[in-house]
Chain A
Amino acid sequence: MLADKMEILKESIPFLLKGAFMTIELTTFAVVIGIILGTILGLARVSHNKLLNGIAKAYIEFFRGTPLLVQLFLLYFGLPNIGIDISAYFAAILGLGLNSGAYVGEVVRSGIKSIDKGQMEAARSVGMSYPQAMQYVILPQAIKRVIPPLGNEFIALLKDSSLVSVIAVKDLTRQGRLIISRTYESFLIFAAVAVLYFIMTFIMTRIVNYAERRLSISD
């Protein structure tokens, strides 16, 4: 009995690992999109341009105010319905990335806001333009402050990425469900899935802590 279960687990591991790598891949792409988009949104949120600010705010409120699952459905089932074809893989990355961008945008905004306004004034007073002051003075300081919240953000994103399993992307959760549909070993397999997620978030937490320590050295 136990030997049977061990055998099933052993056979499942390559599939689960494949799923885990897909989860990492999706999360990585989504993080990249999230950082780029979030930085743009964050900068727009602190700019004095009312239009830019308004657009960024509306974007952030929409993506934070609706469920990620519904956003994924909208991309994967909704877009083809209005004539835009999109693969499950691409819909997953886009959905996670667009969603993450909204949260990162808020983190970036509060990071910039946390820098003493004397820094901007000092930079401007020596003749730097606003973009130069942002680039050389404000953002390098803000980055240190946003590393911990961003790290938490991306750990949450990795876990939330399990939602893409419902739009037929073969991530870790999906692989687990496929194995269960053949073996009916739902406790065993979901436990294995949970352990794999835990290992991934555990490693990510260590990386974030390391980055935090490294960046705080010059303080």
Chain B
Amino acid sequence: MIKVEDLHKSFGELEVLKGINEEVKQGEVVVVIGPSGSGKSTFLRCLNLLEDITAGKVYIEGEQINSPQADIDLIRQETGMVFQHFNLFPHKTVLDNITLAPIKVKRLNKKEAEKIAYELLEKVGLKDKADSYPSQLSGGQKQRIAIARALAMQPKVMLFDEPTSALDPEMVGEVLGVMKDLANEGMTMVVVTHEMGFAREVGDRVLFMDHGIVVEEGDPEQIFTNPQEERTKEFLAKIL
């Protein structure tokens, strides 16, 4: 599904990703953990080219996305992204937030797009908020709408960039719940998060990143109960 070969990313002099090799299989839920500054968000953002790639190759379904021939707008339609700060469009209602891209990018008519939107609102439990504006929603509701917005393009992969980090603690659960449902439906997901409970319960594989490399990876049980690397142990000791 996703294949990453020797991915490097630099911001000016600073090298943030120092050669990442990874593969994500169809239906797999990969959770990326690591201290801040480890490059985990940058790694995720390279997967839909929100960051341009300094060196290396990223393939999605066999197509190299960072080649000059690649149609990046088309690729992004198939890789939904959920942001830490939701990034809902404040000037549009919830319904319009969800239908904007299906109508403008996929050229669906309004009726079709709204049908999909209502199904998704049902799924995230916010059908009654269709006509609200983002400013009228709580953080947890905003994030659930943001997930619905990304799903409206019917992506093949969902990328989550610290989706619960900006939420009040009591709202974390509702967002993780939606993500869990999504994983159970077989969605391929890459999730950058600090929610170790989620990683353990939902993740098929955990990557621990530090200083721009994947230090250790494995199934969640093994990483959390029996980490092999010193840096992984240190990190887990601090957060668990």
Judge if A61 is at the interface, Cβ distance under 8 Å: no
The answer to whether A125 touches B81, judged by C-beta atoms less than 8 angstroms apart, is yes
Compute how far the CA of A124 lies from the CA of B80 in the bound complex, rounded to whole angstroms: 10
Per DSSP, chain A at the interface is helix
B25-33, B69-77, B111-119: which one contacts chain A? Answer: B69-77
The answer to whether B73 touches A122, judged by C-beta atoms less than 8 angstroms apart, is no
Number of interface residues of A (CB under 8 A): 20
A22-30, A134-142, A150-158: which one contacts chain B? Answer: A134-142
Most buried by B among A119, A123, A125, A132: A125
**Pick from A124, A127, A218: contact of B153, CB under 8 Å:** A127
Give chain B residues whose Cβ lies under 8 Å from the Cβ of A123. Answer: 89, 101
Q: How far is the CB of A140 from chain B (nearest CB, A)?
A: 5
The answer to whether A128 touches B105, judged by C-beta atoms less than 8 angstroms apart, is yes
Closest A residue to B76 by beta carbon equals: A127
Number of A-B contacts (CB under 8 A): 68
Compute how far the CA of A125 lies from the CA of B106 in the bound complex, rounded to whole angstroms: 14
Judge if B104 is at the interface, Cβ distance under 8 Å: yes
Compute how far the CA of A140 lies from the CA of B91 in the bound complex, rounded to whole angstroms: 8
Closest A residue to B152 by beta carbon equals: A126
Compute how far the CA of A126 lies from the CA of B150 in the bound complex, rounded to whole angstroms: 6
Give chain B residues whose Cβ lies under 8 Å from the Cβ of A126. Answer: 76-77, 80, 100-101, 105, 149-150, 152-153
Instruction: For the complex of A and B, list the 4 residue pairs with the smallest distance between their C-beta atoms, beginning with the closest.
Output: A127-B77, A122-B87, A126-B101, A118-B87
Q: List 8 A-B contacts (CB under 8 A).
A: A126-B80, A126-B101, A126-B152, A126-B153, A128-B105, A137-B100, A144-B91, A218-B133
* Contacts A127-B106, A128-B105, A137-B89 supplied; 18 other A-B pairs, CB < 8 Å: A116-B87, A118-B83, A118-B85, A119-B87, A121-B81, A121-B83, A122-B88, A122-B149, A123-B89, A123-B101, A126-B76, A127-B77, A127-B105, A128-B104, A132-B105, A136-B100, A219-B90, A219-B135
- B residues neighboring A (CB under 8 Å): 48, 50, 73-74, 76-77, 79-81, 83, 85, 87-91, 100-101, 104-106, 133, 135, 146, 149-150, 152-153
